[in-house]
Structure 1
């Protein structure tokens, strides 16, 4: 009998072992590295404060506020630095005409744009891995393109541009000579900077008057045979013996550019060099930028886009920047933070609290990849294989840090492990129905604050970025519904979105290939 009982126990053990070794990872499997304590297992979410903050985006009146200035004090850099402020899209002067009736409608609009953004990134990554270049694809606006008529350091403030298809944060940039200020989307997932230009074949509504290149003494079209034109993914050539473009390019023909976005938005026009002014710093001349005469899509409010990607035409690459950093304020906040770009010697100051490897994808130069190794929930590491975050030899997979994506996307099994662990740690909270993109929601209408499991991103050498609770449990309506702000993706790469980056200074040390994260350094 004893032997038979032993066999039955052994069989039961093998059954349970096989039951928990499916492709979906167990939610929690191992403890954090030595030094972590149980007191780090929970974080406090101030429900009252976050609900009050959410109302700001609905009740903001531009008439009662000074418009955000693109001139800010040199409080983050040396005397030679240029300073620009970041601002939220819903606090731009033009946002008054695009008010939503309630916070639910605002959140749904944000999520629709976010879904388009993620589709665009996933498609671009898939094409790169398959070896299909963007230049091999037919431009969506090709037929409309033909009839178009003829520093050491940089620092600046940032705005959330949630109504713009390609990004959610804005800054004020001076363009031309004399400089005229424009609201520009700041986008770490783009390489081509551009703005709307006269004459307009088709221009969407923007806050500022449309840029007139004929009024700028520093505007100069780029010739078709230039290296800058050849670096474009999608370009064409237009020649004319009578236009300013032809004269400036020596009669060789001027370069046309086209950029398309996943939501159907696009911009087409002349590719030129222009002078850009950032805050109180000296102007930066000779920056290659698109002058868009045909522009359609969701770019309401912004004049254009300042590209902060890793490709050769991005603004940091053009000025041979050695580092840059930004801090994204809460999307529902009227406050601003700063963007800092250093082209000279590294700026002295406090080192980032957490660092991680900055990786490059040889198939897709645009995105900033980070060496993520794991995720913890409630003080314990999730049992996720390293392959879930790794980039393979083909360029597939990996994790990017993106300022334009709102909600962090994780591969299916990784997301499931995070969600299940979070649910297990919030069993005492009243649940709510799934909401749009989110499948893990709570009714916190009767609470002023709650304790929730901590969520941390882990990097090599046991370094952890522990997120504030409001960066992953967010309000989605006026009724007190909060949801876990992560989502699964079927794409091979994962994305750390801007909701998780809020009020954390993200720095890119391009010299040393390091990404830094510094909470509360805005």
Structure 2
């Protein structure tokens, strides 16, 4: 009996020790997750339906906005996917997907080019638009190879409705965490592309005020010139897109409130990936970005499904959700625009990938690292990292019928006979053992309406990795600027 008692005591001690230890372990996530194939295919069919699109704007509500914004108050405005505002002209969902991926590749070229130029100490003014006879190209003086403009590919993926001037003129603007300077197309136009709203008329605004060349906002521009002591700006995005015009201060109306004296570009000569939008709202980390000019301590967004007609919100000075999975927010001394993440690793099916720690780190020259970007769709990873991720995922999906690759995707499946499938969970890992598991629909996406799904990651030859908006969908991404933290809150749209 004594021996039995000793055994029971040992078992009880071991159990208590395990329980105490397990409380200190990071929360575990499921090794697999379920993809609703039928629902995803239905979304692709809805996206091509003419009944999907809204028929009315928000002009009246913008015209009624007269409240003044305080930098200490929170501010919120609606956020829309591109497809909810502009019906695609493509004949089917596959052609729409191919156009999106071509746009996305141009976006990635733009970001990596800008970083390369910053690291090399080359100003974007060295990128000159040239008509080659085969379309507009930017031909850099000190950076090799022409970069073709994506004018014909449409504009950015996520928009908000804002008011420009006093009284406010309504305008759809692209939201861009990869840019600082905000701008709109302005009359008179030397060269303006087609947009959904009327071109902004500076003469109709009582709050329009040109900036002098001595103004700090003008001196903060990467590229500026003077004309009659007024400030002229030029922004070239590296993919062939550019905007040139007067740098001014204006009143911006958003979320039922107005913000005075915001420095923006009044573009008289514009070209590129902005067709449909009136301009761009820069959400980057530089001094001229919209959050910086608001003196915002934080901002957040939640990106709805790009095939959805629903809307979410862009919020400033809102508290970090209590359930957020947090990661360190890093900065690159060579370029303060981009938001870098302290990512330590990735896992597939609960197994950490064998990736060197340096894969996601910025080196002493400003190369490398991984940024989170609202305008890039598909996450790009350094080739070795991508191949480790893809191999692990393919090994975990051997029961699914593979099919040929599509565009930049090389791991695709024929799920036409399935209503749902179980796939390995893909997760991001951050410092302190924090883990962000992704829903299956954020990395196994339809590329047509026939049941072809592809693994939505891609390799890049650049040292810069990018977490794209496909992986961010349905998650509130919070940039706590004051505390240098990025938070991820699933299902907080």
- TM-score above 0.5: yes
1:70/1:85 contact within 8 Å kept = no
> Of 420, 424, 438, which aligns to 1:449?
420
Deviation, 1:99, is 2.0
Name 1:401's counterpart in structure 2: 372
**2-structure distance, mates of 1:454, 1:68:** 40
Equivalent residues in 2 for 1:423-434, closer than 5 Å: 423-434=394-405
2:127/2:236 contact within 8 Å kept = no
SS at match of 1:373: strand
Name 1:55's counterpart in structure 2: 45
Name 1:229's counterpart in structure 2: 218
Alpha carbons of 1:292 and 1:349: their partners in 2 closer, same or farther (altered >3 Å)? closer
Alpha carbons of 1:398 and 1:97: their partners in 2 closer, same or farther (altered >3 Å)? closer
The answer to which of 296-305 and 396-405 deviates more is 296-305
1:163/1:299 contact within 8 Å kept = no
Alpha carbons of 1:375 and 1:97: their partners in 2 closer, same or farther (altered >3 Å)? closer
Structure 1 length-normalised TM: 0.81
1:104 matched to 2:94? The reply is yes
1:191/1:311 contact within 8 Å kept = yes
Name 2:274's counterpart in structure 1: 299
2:248/2:264 contact within 8 Å kept = yes
Deviation, 1:348, is 4.6
Deviation, 1:127, is 1.7
1:89 matched to 2:82? The reply is yes
Equivalent residues in 2 for 1:224-263, closer than 5 Å: 224-239=213-228, 253-263=229-239
Aligned length: 446
**2-structure distance, mates of 1:259, 1:40:** 45
**2-structure distance, mates of 1:238, 1:477:** 52
Deviation, 1:233, is 1.3
**2-structure distance, mates of 1:97, 1:53:** 14
Query: For residues 93-140 of structure 1, what are the alpha-carbon distances to aligned partners after superposition, in whole Å with 9 as ceiling and x for unaligned?
Result: xxx5642110011101110110011111111111222232335x2543
**2-structure distance, mates of 1:55, 1:372:** 36
Name 1:274's counterpart in structure 2: 250
Deviation, 1:365, is 0.6
Deviation, 1:60, is 3.6
Name 2:9's counterpart in structure 1: none
2:115/2:335 contact within 8 Å kept = yes
1:360 matched to 2:360? The reply is no
Structure 2 segments unaligned to the other structure (5+ residues): 1-22, 63-70, 132-150
**2-structure distance, mates of 1:350, 1:237:** 45
**1-structure distance, mates of 2:58, 2:406:** 33
Deviation, 1:394, is 1.0
Name 2:354's counterpart in structure 1: 383
1:193/1:304 contact within 8 Å kept = yes
**1-structure distance, mates of 2:171, 2:199:** 9
SS at match of 2:232: strand
Alpha carbons of 1:451 and 1:232: their partners in 2 closer, same or farther (altered >3 Å)? same
Alpha carbons of 1:329 and 1:69: their partners in 2 closer, same or farther (altered >3 Å)? farther
Deviation, 1:69, is 7.7
Alpha carbons of 1:326 and 1:436: their partners in 2 closer, same or farther (altered >3 Å)? same
Name 2:316's counterpart in structure 1: 341
Alpha carbons of 1:139 and 1:511: their partners in 2 closer, same or farther (altered >3 Å)? same
Superposition RMSD in Å: 2.5
1:186 matched to 2:162? The reply is no
**2-structure distance, mates of 1:421, 1:71:** 50
SS at match of 2:48: helix
1:218 matched to 2:218? The reply is no
Structure 1 segments unaligned to the other structure (5+ residues): 1-32, 73-77, 143-161, 240-252
The answer to which of 163-172 and 483-492 deviates more is 163-172
> Of 381, 389, 392, which aligns to 2:363?
392
Alpha carbons of 1:404 and 1:38: their partners in 2 closer, same or farther (altered >3 Å)? closer
**1-structure distance, mates of 2:439, 2:127:** 44
Name 1:495's counterpart in structure 2: 466
Query: For residues 21-73 of structure 1, what are the alpha-carbon distances to aligned partners after superposition, in whole Å with 9 as ceiling and x for unaligned?
Result: xxxxxxxxxxxx9857997111100001111112222114477644468969x
Equivalent residues in 2 for 1:456-495, closer than 5 Å: 456-495=427-466
